[in-house]
Structure 1
């Protein structure tokens, strides 16, 4: 197949890897891949290594005549079978570029909200009749997208953005900067400070755990030092053992050095990447009962599920794990099974090939 991917490469390496490795594996499987994206120090070299045609002219506007012309030119010159657009800027440009051409247009959907039929902007995106197919990152997102009557004629599927355990071979991070005593129980929460991410739930939960003398919390992400989180931290009974790390490129390695990952999102998580990273390193997870998280975590098997938005339930779950080393060991022992099977990178690539080929049959 001749495939054109219109995507972005201006995020962190960890966030790019699950998607960008799909393109590399497609190329290694014998497909002709062209990518329009940003210049990226790591992936520009990797794409070229595997004979991927790389066009470093990123799509930076929702409507860009130059981007539309470029996409259209590539489709014609390379006889593109599939155009795959992955974000809010590449999708509308691809929709217009594909008008009147026989190529199949597939778009990516990673969240289960926002597709309002009364929002005109959506008709230049996923709701446009020119879109042939939609790849949803999870069954949760698939159920949302496929429930919309306006999309009933589109070929919608769910394909996990799988991971490869071999990606996670770095040593756990050194946490000495936080002056945490040896043998401590370290909970870590990796999230940017947005209301739906549930950081306030975590801070209210650990406020109930100050009696656990060896319990520490590390917070990784942007905006954590701002209100309302700043006040929740300042007035927290665990304050002396809450460590605000800010944004870190080595977040997965910090998770590997911790005892437990907390994933407290209230809504909107299609398939939380941080949970997959944690499981790949063998670090158990305690997560709120969001559908996306529950597709990864089997309660009591490879993690613990607690009610959404309930600080007391989260505190109780953390306390039980703190008090039971055997439970922690059992969860850790089962952590990699999901990534080795239904959420593996290899399975993801095979699903992409099957799906793209099925579109070309019709």
Structure 2
């Protein structure tokens, strides 16, 4: 197959699961070309695996020059598949492919904001030129099917895979300046301050913990010190055990020095990358049951899953780890194994390969 990919590959850390799909397909013998920004950090790795890189990415919506450039490449290259991953690519790539014998495939990694009455959705996901949309989780596929009344566009769930080797770090961030006792169970929550992250419910959960409970809670991310959070912390009976770290570039090293990754998300996300990274490090997860993270963790086997927007349930989950520390090692190992098997990148490559072939034949 000849595949043209248009995406933003500027940051290795954030785009690795996506980029490695096409490196995997190149290893299978497919002819891959990538259009991306000239400053993309993944360019050397693409070229190392024989992937042609075109230093171009649309900068504006429905830009005539971008449309013409992409169409010229599609005609010249006689591609079987045009795979795109962001709105700027969609709004130039879709009109560029109009009338050409190429399968146009988009991607969706967010579970919200899909509605049949939204006029903008017909410029992208429901456009007549689009053949398929790859969904990162089943909840996204289900939402599309609920709002799409045709039968031409195919919505297909394929998880972006991972490899635990991507997240291994030797060092552990020094948290000794925060921790009261070295043996305390250390919980880490990594999230920027957005309502969907549910941080307030996590902080409310600490109000249900015993003052002498042997734990510490670390909050890493931007704007964790806003007034609402500070008040919840100050009113907590365990306020001295809650530590705001702010934004950290060494977040994997921070997680590597903690025991439990806690995620209190409320909605919107597909499989949460921060949770996957922590599980890849072998950290025991405590997550909420949002649709996007369905089946990421099997509660009671590879972690603990609790209802969203429920501070008491989060507190009970924390207590299980605090007072049953053997679960930390047990669930941590199981969580790491789950990423390396069920969510491994090699499975994603196989599924993309099979789906592309089926789409081209039909």
Answer yes or no: same fold by TM over 0.5.
Answer: yes
**Quick one: distance in 1 between partners of 2:216 and 2:38?**
39
Matched, 1:103 2:96: no
**Quick one: distance in 2 between partners of 1:40 and 1:230?**
39
Aligned 1:29-178 pairs, distance under 5 A: 29-40=28-39, 42-176=41-175, 178=177
**Quick one: distance in 2 between partners of 1:70 and 1:232?**
53
SS at match of 2:265: coil
**Quick one: distance in 1 between partners of 2:57 and 2:127?**
22
The answer to whether the 8 Å contact 1:288/1:307 transfers is yes
Shift of 1:213: 4.5
Shift of 1:284: 0.7
**Quick one: distance in 2 between partners of 1:316 and 1:260?**
14
Q: How many residues align?
A: 361
Shift of 1:234: 4.2
The answer to whether the 8 Å contact 1:178/1:243 transfers is no
The answer to whether the 8 Å contact 1:82/1:103 transfers is yes
Shift of 1:210: 5.3
Structure 2: state its 5+ residue gaps: none
Shift of 1:146: 2.2
Aligned partner of 1:27 in structure 2 is 26
Aligned 1:1-362 pairs, distance under 5 A: 1-10=1-10, 12-40=11-39, 42-176=41-175, 178-180=177-179, 181-209=181-209, 211-362=211-362
**Quick one: distance in 2 between partners of 1:220 and 1:39?**
31
Q: Do the aligned partners of residues 315 and 151 (structure 1) sit closer, same or farther apart at CA in structure 2, a change above 3 Å counting? A: farther
The answer to whether the 8 Å contact 2:185/2:214 transfers is yes
Shift of 1:283: 0.5
Which shows bigger deviation, 230-239 or 54-63? 230-239
**Quick one: distance in 2 between partners of 1:295 and 1:16?**
22
Which shows bigger deviation, 216-225 or 157-166? 216-225
The answer to whether the 8 Å contact 1:146/1:152 transfers is no
Shift of 1:227: 4.1
Q: Do the aligned partners of residues 350 and 34 (structure 1) sit closer, same or farther apart at CA in structure 2, a change above 3 Å counting? A: same
The answer to whether the 8 Å contact 2:126/2:153 transfers is no
SS at match of 1:337: helix
The answer to whether the 8 Å contact 1:137/1:271 transfers is yes
Moved over 6 A (4+): none
Q: Do the aligned partners of residues 205 and 133 (structure 1) sit closer, same or farther apart at CA in structure 2, a change above 3 Å counting? A: same
With normalisation by structure 1, the TM-score equals: 0.94
Shift of 1:354: 0.6
**Quick one: distance in 2 between partners of 1:232 and 1:123?**
43
Shift of 1:201: 1.0
**Quick one: distance in 1 between partners of 2:99 and 2:80?**
14
Which shows bigger deviation, 267-276 or 307-316? 267-276
SS at match of 2:87: coil
Which shows bigger deviation, 292-301 or 221-230? 221-230
Give a deviation string over 1:151-174, Cα, whole Å, max 9, x none. 532122111111112222322422
With normalisation by structure 2, the TM-score equals: 0.94
Shift of 1:239: 3.0
SS at match of 2:149: helix
The answer to whether the 8 Å contact 2:191/2:221 transfers is yes
Which shows bigger deviation, 87-96 or 101-110? 87-96
**Quick one: distance in 1 between partners of 2:257 and 2:289?**
25
**Quick one: distance in 1 between partners of 2:84 and 2:130?**
10
**Quick one: distance in 2 between partners of 1:2 and 1:165?**
30
The answer to whether the 8 Å contact 1:9/1:39 transfers is no
SS at match of 2:245: strand
**Quick one: distance in 2 between partners of 1:325 and 1:212?**
16
